[in-house]
């Protein structure tokens, strides 16, 4: 039941700061510029947010020609003139609705910097928040309007926790994750993750030119972006290259939802692609693939079921299964935020499952996550710890209602299992591991259903993004409904609270630091295995958030985690 809503004191203070702030309405006489290792870029000033934007700057050589399906290469040229940095680059080639209305192309390895225009007035270089977009590793891009960094950067200034925002593109689908024994043999693996890594190195070398502090970088992502953050935490067997000092993971972790394999697992789809573009009989098959005209290759990837690629174990970037590394302490020991949404499983689970027998068959066929067939004995274990009780099912807003029809009588049961196996169980493991290692972890459950999301879907995947970015105008929500259309004032206050908490973490590695004297919303607790407490973000309760014991579905989640080896992750 919803409780009475009142505005916390920090919200009123921030609102007053915005109202009293005199926004500059005229542009700079001279546009902002920054001199990087390779040359000087000229950006643009945005009076509405009092920010400097530097958009579309390359961080790698274009991955075309001989660099197609190759590990990314650092920039190897410099320039003496100035280069324009006032518009986003194309997104990388992807396959989904996230690419709609945005230009795409192979030449896509570019990044963007959003900084407060008065950055120098703060007296020292600013912390840096690096956004890694999601999209299942097959779609998405940094120009996506839903990921507009201006709002959260503006909020950071208003609360006295200013930071510089960075976002970048990385290669997607087969363009970024093509895998085979032949590619692995030449040392080419996990190209897109290496794109991201190279972007982080570029930031280390160049962010000082924009007023940023390379020693105070936080990497941050959602879904595939959060999975990427999880990979960077364990990259090179947990080697700390000092590329970041904090990490934020929204619905994604180091332990991946799907089973992990070596490159030869993908031989069949790789060969299907090679055959489709007539490279089968070429003396140099990889050379042939790299010379195929873009349109031909793009069509082949899109029509041969070759869009669903993901990272592989290569003994290098991904040294081994993440569960082994976390157990061994082989990860970068930096503070984290890690969370998931209440009803993740409704986005990834099956529909039309009506009996326990059908649920067993679904798991034994490997039809759902972790995307491998489960042994009958293991499937039985899952059945036992996820009983057929809709009162304990997902989504929780349905009470004890059992759905039927197209959803299936077992929908709430299967959704609970899938949500746990995909994101919630790995999130709990991440938090437990950090707590055991003595590194701060702030863990959460997002529990606010935005406008346009049906009750049967609940608080499903991706729904926290608009709140974290404080995107209360609904920019970029052209395919799905505006999350904030017609919602109560508490939704807007929750967006401000979450956005400011993220900004505080980026600035101080503490999401509470901007509201120490808050008497309405409790402080977000550091995770402690002796008394594990998560933090629930809920626009329908007084204070907008509250701690809760991180013990829900304990039997099911602990069973899932005990079988990480069997799940190959």
What pLDDT digit, counting tens, does each position of 483-501 carry? 999 999 999 999 999 999 9
Strands (E), 117-252: 126-132, 164-168, 212-222, 246-250
Q: Which residues share a beta bridge with 156?
A: none
Buried b (16+ CB within 10 A) or exposed e, 454-475: eebbbbbbbbbbbbbbbbbebb
Q: Is residue 429 assigned to a domain?
A: yes
Instruction: Determine the pLDDT at residue 12.
Output: 53
pLDDT tens sequence across 152-178: 999 999 999 999 999 999 999 999 999
Mean pLDDT of 338-342: 98
Mean pLDDT of 510-537: 98
Q: How many CB atoms lie within 10 A of CB 371?
A: 17
**Domain CATH code at residue 378:** 3.40.50.1820
Q: Is residue 569 assigned to a domain?
A: no
Q: Is residue 3 assigned to a domain?
A: no
Instruction: Determine the pLDDT at residue 308.
Output: 85
The helices-and-strands tally (H runs, E runs) of the chain is 18, 14
% residues pLDDT > 90 (the chain): 93
Instruction: Determine the pLDDT at residue 304.
Output: 75
Closest to 11 in 3D by CA, of 564, 557, 510, 491: 491
Q: Is residue 1 assigned to a domain?
A: no
What is the per-residue DSSP string for 472-512?
TT-TT-SSS--TTTT--HHHHHHHHHHHHHHHHHHHHS-TT
**Given a cut of 70, is residue 510 above it in pLDDT?**
yes
pLDDT tens sequence across 352-362: 999 999 999 99
Q: Is residue 276 assigned to a domain?
A: yes
Sign of CA dihedral 177, 180, 181, 182: negative
Q: Is residue 567 assigned to a domain?
A: no
How close are the terminal C-alpha atoms of the chain, in Å? 38
Instruction: Determine the pLDDT at residue 22.
Output: 33
- Residue 110 half-sphere exposure, CB side, CA atoms within 13 Å? 22
Mean pLDDT of 18-28: 38
- Annotated active-site residue 457? The verdict is no
Q: Of how many residues is the chain composed? A: 569
Cβ atoms of 235 and 97 within 8 Å: the answer is no
pTM of the full predicted structure?
A: 0.96
Instruction: Determine the pLDDT at residue 337.
Output: 99
The alpha helices in 73-115, defined as continuous H runs, are none
**Given a cut of 90, is residue 3 above it in pLDDT?**
no
Q: How far apart are CA 150 and CA 487, in angstroms?
A: 23
Which tops the pLDDT comparison, 561 or 13? 561
Domain that holds residue 532: 9-562
Rounded mean pLDDT of the chain?
95
* Catalytic site residue from 89, 167, 223, 499: 223
Cβ atoms of 48 and 23 within 8 Å: the answer is yes
Ranges 130-144, 303-317, 329-343: which has the least confidence? 303-317
Ranges 89-93, 111-115, 140-144, 477-481: which has the least confidence? 477-481
Q: Is residue 418 assigned to a domain?
A: yes
Instruction: Determine the pLDDT at residue 303.
Output: 86
Q: Is residue 568 assigned to a domain?
A: no
What is the per-residue DSSP string for 337-370?
EEEEETTTHHHHS-S---SHHHHHHHHHTT-STT
> What's the structural domain count of the chain?
1
Ranges 11-20, 40-49, 65-74: which has the least confidence? 11-20
- Annotated active-site residue 124? The verdict is no
Mean pLDDT of 120-141: 98
Cβ atoms of 457 and 395 within 8 Å: the answer is yes
pLDDT tens sequence across 383-409: 999 999 999 999 999 999 999 889 999
pLDDT tens sequence across 371-386: 999 999 999 999 999 9
**Given a cut of 90, is residue 307 above it in pLDDT?**
no
Instruction: Determine the pLDDT at residue 560.
Output: 98
* Catalytic site residue from 222, 344, 381, 464: 344
Cis peptide before 202 (omega within 30 of 0): no
Instruction: Determine the pLDDT at residue 1.
Output: 35
**Given a cut of 50, is residue 122 above it in pLDDT?**
yes
Query: Would you place residue 8 in the very low, low, confident or very high pLDDT band (cuts 50, 70, 90)?
Result: low
**Given a cut of 90, is residue 115 above it in pLDDT?**
yes
Instruction: Determine the pLDDT at residue 29.
Output: 56
């Amino acid at each position: 039941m919803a409780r009475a809503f009142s505005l916390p004191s920090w919200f009123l203070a921030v609102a007053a700061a915005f109202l009293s702030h005199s926004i500059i309405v005229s542009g700079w006489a001279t546009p902002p510029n920054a001199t990087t290792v390779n040359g000087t870029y000229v950006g643009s000033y945005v009076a509405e947010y009092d920010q400097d934007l530097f958009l579309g700057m390359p961080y790698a050589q274009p991955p075309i020609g001989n660099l197609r399906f190759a590990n990314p290469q650092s920039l190897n040229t410099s320039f003496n003139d100035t280069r324009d940095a006032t518009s986003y680059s194309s997104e990388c080639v992807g396959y989904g609705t996230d690419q709609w209305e945005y230009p795409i192309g192979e030449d896509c390895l570019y990044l963007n910097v959003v900084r407060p225009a008065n950055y120098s007035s703060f007296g020292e270089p600013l912390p840096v928040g690096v956004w890694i977009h999601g999209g299942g590793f097959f779609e998405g891009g940094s120009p996506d309007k839903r990921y507009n960094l201006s709002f959260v950067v503006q909020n950071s200034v208003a609360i006295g926790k200013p930071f510089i925002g960075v976002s970048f593109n990385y290669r997607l689908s087969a363009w970024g994750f093509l895998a085979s024994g032949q590619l692995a043999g030449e040392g080419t693996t996990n190209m897109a993750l290496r794109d991201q890594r190279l972007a982080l190195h570029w930031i280390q070398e160049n962010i000082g030119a924009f007023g940023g502090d390379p020693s105070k970088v936080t990497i941050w992502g959602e879904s595939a972006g959060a999975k990427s953050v999880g990979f960077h935490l364990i990259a090179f067997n947990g080697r700390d290259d000092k590329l970041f000092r904090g990490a934020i993971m929204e619905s994604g972790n180091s332990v991946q939802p799907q089973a992990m394999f070596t490159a030869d697992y993908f031989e069949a789809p790789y060969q299907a692609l090679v055959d489709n573009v007539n490279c089968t009989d070429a003396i140099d098959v990889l050379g042939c693939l790299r010379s195929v005209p873009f349109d031909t290759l793009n069509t082949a990837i899109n029509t041969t079921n070759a869009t669903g690629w993901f990272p592989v174990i290569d003994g290098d970037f991904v040294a081994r299964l993440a569960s082994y590394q976390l157990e061994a302490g082989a990860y970068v020991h930096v503070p984290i935020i890690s969370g998931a949404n209440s009803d993740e499983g409704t986005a990834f689970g099956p529909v039309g499952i009506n009996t326990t027998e059908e649920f067993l068959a679904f798991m034994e066929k490997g039809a759902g996550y972790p995307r491998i067939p489960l042994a009958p004995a293991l499937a039985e274990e899952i059945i036992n710890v996820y009983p057929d009780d809709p009162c304990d099912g997902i989504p929780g807003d349905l009470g004890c209602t059992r759905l039927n029809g197209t959803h299936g009588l077992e929908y709430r049961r299967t959704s609970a299992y899938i949500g746990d196996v995909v994101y919630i169980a790995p999130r709990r493991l991440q938090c437990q591991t950090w707590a055991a290692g003595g590194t701060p972890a702030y863990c959460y459950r997002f529990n606010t259903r935005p406008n346009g999301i049906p009750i049967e879907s609940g608080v499903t995947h991706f729904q926290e993004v608009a709140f974290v970015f404080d995107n209360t105008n609904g920019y970029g929500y052209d395919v799905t409904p505006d999350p904030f259309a017609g919602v109560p004032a508490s939704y807007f206050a929750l967006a401000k609270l979450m956005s400011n908490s993220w900004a505080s973490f980026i600035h101080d590695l503490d999401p509470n630091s901007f509201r120490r004297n808050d008497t309405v919303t409790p402080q977000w607790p550091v995770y402690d295995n002796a008394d594990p407490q998560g933090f629930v973000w809920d626009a329908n309760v007084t204070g907008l958030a509250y701690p809760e014991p991180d013990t829900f579905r304990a039997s099911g989640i602990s069973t899932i985690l005990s079988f990480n080896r069997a799940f190959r992750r």
